[in-house]
Amino acid sequence: MSPEMIRLLAGATGETLLMVAISAGLGTLFGLPLGVFLATSGRGELFAAPWANRALGVVVNATRSTPFIILVVAIIPFTRLIAGTSIGTNAAIVPLTVAATPFIARLIEGAIREVDQGLIEAARAFGATPLQIVLKVLIPEAMPGIVLGLTLAVVSLIGYSAMVGAVGGGGLGDLGIRYGYQRFMPEMMLAVVVVLIVLVQALQSLGDLLARRLNKRIRHA
C-alpha cells in the first residue's frame, strides 16, 4: 500500500472515530434519560405516566424501525438546519445521533428492567424518593448491562458511519466507495474492511472487559 493510500486511510479512520464518538456521546446524553423514563413510567411504576410511556414508545419504535439509509435522506432538511450542510463528517453526526438515541434508550430500558424488583421495594421501605432510587439503585445495579448495551450501540454506529459514506458522509465508508468501488481499487476496499473489523473487535473487547469488572464490583459491594 502506497504512502498516499495510508494517509487517506488514516484520515478516514479519524473521521469515522470522530463521528462515532460524538454521535455516541450525544445519543447517550439523550437516550439515557429517555431509557430510564421508559423503564420507570409504566402503570404502577416509579414515575407512573402510562400515556406518556406509550407515546414515547411509539416514537422510539418508529425511529428504530426506519432503515438508516432512508432516515439519512428523510431528515436532510433537519441536518442542514443543524449542521449547515447535508454532506461531510459534521453533517453525518446528525442522522447518526438521531438513529443512536432511540436504540440506546431501548437498551438502557432493558438493562434497568433486569434489576431485581426487591431492591426497589427495599429502597422504598427506607424512604428513598423515586429519583434517589433511580440514581442510587437502578442505574448502579444496571451498569454492567448498560455498558454492554452502549458497546453494542457504538459497534452499530460504526456500521452506520460506513453507510453514510454512500451519501457523502465522509469516513471509511466514503473512502471505500470513492476509491474501492468507483476507482476499482480492491486493495483500498479490503483495507477499509480490515480497519472496520479491527475497530469493532477492539471496542467489543473493551466493553466486555469493563462490563465484567463492573459486575464483579457490584457482586462484592
Please indicate, yes or no, if residue 4 is contained in any of the structural domains: no
1 in a structural domain: no
Domain count, the chain: 1
What is the dihedral angle through the alpha carbons of 142, 148, 149, 151, rounded to the nearest 10 degrees?
140
Q: Can you give the pLDDT at residue 202? A: 94
pLDDT at 214: 85
Q: Which phi and psi (to 5°) does residue 2 adopt?
A: -75, 160
**Residue at 51 is within a domain:** yes
pTM (two decimals): 0.90
Does residue 90 form part of some domain?
A: yes
Question: Domain for residue 6, yes or no?
Answer: no
Helices 186-220, 139-163: inter-axial angle, 10-degree rounding: 180
All three cell numbers of 17: 472515530
Give the model's pLDDT for residue 220: 58
| Residue 86 counted as domain residue | yes
Neighbours of 43 (CB within 10 A): 8
DSSP one-letter code for 144: H
Tell me if 118 is assigned to some domain: yes
Residue range 14-28: mean pLDDT, rounded: 94
Q: Which domain holds residue 64?
A: 11-220
Position 208, amino acid: D
Identify the CATH number of the domain in which residue 66 sits: 1.10.3720.10
Backbone φ, ψ for residue 4 (5° rounding):
-65, -40
Read off the pLDDT of residues 31-85 as tens digits, 9 standing for 90 and up: 999 999 999 998 888 888 999 999 999 999 999 899 998 999 899 899 999 988 8
What tens digit of pLDDT does each residue of 155-179 get? 999 989 888 877 777 788 888 888 8
Residue 3 belongs to some domain of the structure: no
